[in-house]
Amino acid sequence: MSEALIKEAATEPLHRADGAAIRAPALDVEHLSRAVNGKLLTDDISVQVQVGEVLAIVGPSGSGKSSFLRLLNRLDEPTGGTVRLDGRDYRELAPQELRRRVGMVMQTAYLFPGTVAENVAFGPRQRGEAFPAEQIAALLQRVGLSGYQDRDVSHLSGGEAQRVSFARTLANGPETLLLDEPTSALDEDAARDIENLVLAVIRERRMTCVIVTHNTAQARRIADRTMILEAGKLTAIGPTDEVLRND
C-alpha cells in the first residue's frame, strides 16, 4: 500500500449511512514518533480510532507495536507528534486523568500484594473516591469472578489474575482500552474466555479499544480494522479481513 493510501485509510473520518460525519475520533494520532538513543521505535505514525472501534496492531517482533501502544497514554513520552483525545491534545491532561480515561492492560497481570478487592478499588481510592463493596462485587461478577473479593492475589491462576487486572482498569471508567498481548501468556481456553469478556464489555460500554496481538486469528475475531507495523512504520491499515487477507 502506498504511503498516500495508508495516510488516507488511517485518517479519513467515518460516516453514517446518511452521510453525516461521526463525532470526533476517540484517538487522533498525529505524526507520532519516539526515538531512543538515536533509534526510531515509532516512526511518524498518524491514525484515527473512532468511538466504539476495535483496532488491532500486528507485525513482527521488534516492529514497535508495544512502543506505539505505550505512547497512546504517555507511559512513554513521544519525541515527535501527539495524540488528541476527543479532540484535545493529551499533553494538556494531567497524567493521572489521561491514564484513567485511556486504561491499559498488560501482557502479564501486575497485581499489587493483597486481596482482589484491594486491587480493584485501587484507582478510585488513589483519587480519593469511594468505591464501595457492592460496586466491587458487581464488577467482579461481570468479569466472571463472583465471590473473589477476599482472595489473596498470590493464589490466582493466570486467567484469574488477568481478569482482576481487567476489572481494576474498568473500575477507573476508561473511555479507551489499550491491550498489550493480553492473552499471550494464557492457554487457549483461558485466552478465548478473556477475549470474549473484553468484547462483551467494550460493546456494553461503547468503549474504544486498541489491541496489540501477535495472533492474526485473534485480530480477525475481534478487530474492526487492523494496522501493520514494520520497523516502527505503519505499512498497512484497513478493514481486518482485507489487511490480513494473505495471512
* Least confident range of 15-19, 194-198, 217-221: 15-19
pLDDT for 20: 47
Q: Does residue 237 contact residue 243 with C-beta atoms inside 8 Å?
A: yes
Residue 19 has pLDDT above 90, yes or no: no
Q: Say what the pLDDT of residue 246 is.
A: 78
Quick: pLDDT tens for 140-194: 999 999 999 999 999 999 999 999 999 999 999 999 999 999 998 888 898 899 8
Q: Strands 225-230 and 27-36: what pairing? A: unpaired
Contact 204, 222 (CB under 8 A): no
Domains held by the chain: number: 1
Which pLDDT score, from 0 to 100, does residue 8 have?
A: 52
- In the prediction, which pLDDT does 126 show? 87
Backbone angles phi, psi at 212, to 5 degrees: -90, 130
Please state whether the predicted TM-score (pTM) of the whole model is above 0.75: yes
* Beta strands, E only, the chain: 27-36, 39-49, 54-58, 80-85, 88-89, 102-105, 176-180, 208-212, 225-230, 233-239
C-alpha cell at 173: 471508567
The fraction of the chain above a pLDDT of 70, given in percent, is: 91
C-beta neighbour count of 12 within 10 angstroms: 9
What is the percent of the chain with per-residue pLDDT over 90, rounded to a whole number?
79
pLDDT, tens digit (0-9, with 9 covering 90-100), for 96-117? 999 999 999 998 888 999 999 9
pLDDT of residue 1: 53
Looking at residues 66-91, what average pLDDT do you find? 96
At 6, the pLDDT band (50, 70, 90 cuts) reads low
Q: Which three cell numbers stand for residue 216?
A: 492474526
First-to-last alpha carbon distance for the chain, in angstroms, is 16
Boundaries of domain holding 55: 3-243
The predicted structure's pLDDT at residue 247: 72
Contacts of 111 (CB under 8 A, 6+ apart): 119, 153, 156, 161, 164, 165, 168
What is the structure's pLDDT at 179?
A: 96
Indicate whether 13 pLDDT > 80.
no
User: Average pLDDT in the 216-243 region?
Assistant: 96
Round to whole Å and give the CA distance between 26 and 100: 14
Q: How confident is the model at residue 12 (pLDDT cuts 50, 70, 90)?
A: low
Is residue 16 over pLDDT 50?
A: no
For residue 234, what is the domain's CATH number? 3.40.50.300
**Cα separation, 236 vs 32, whole angstroms:** 16
Confidence check: pLDDT of 15 > 70: no
Least confident window among 85-89, 100-104, 243-247 = 243-247
Q: What confidence tier does 235 reach under pLDDT thresholds 50, 70, 90?
A: very high
> CA distances (Å), 28 to each of 21, 104, 245, in order?
15, 17, 26
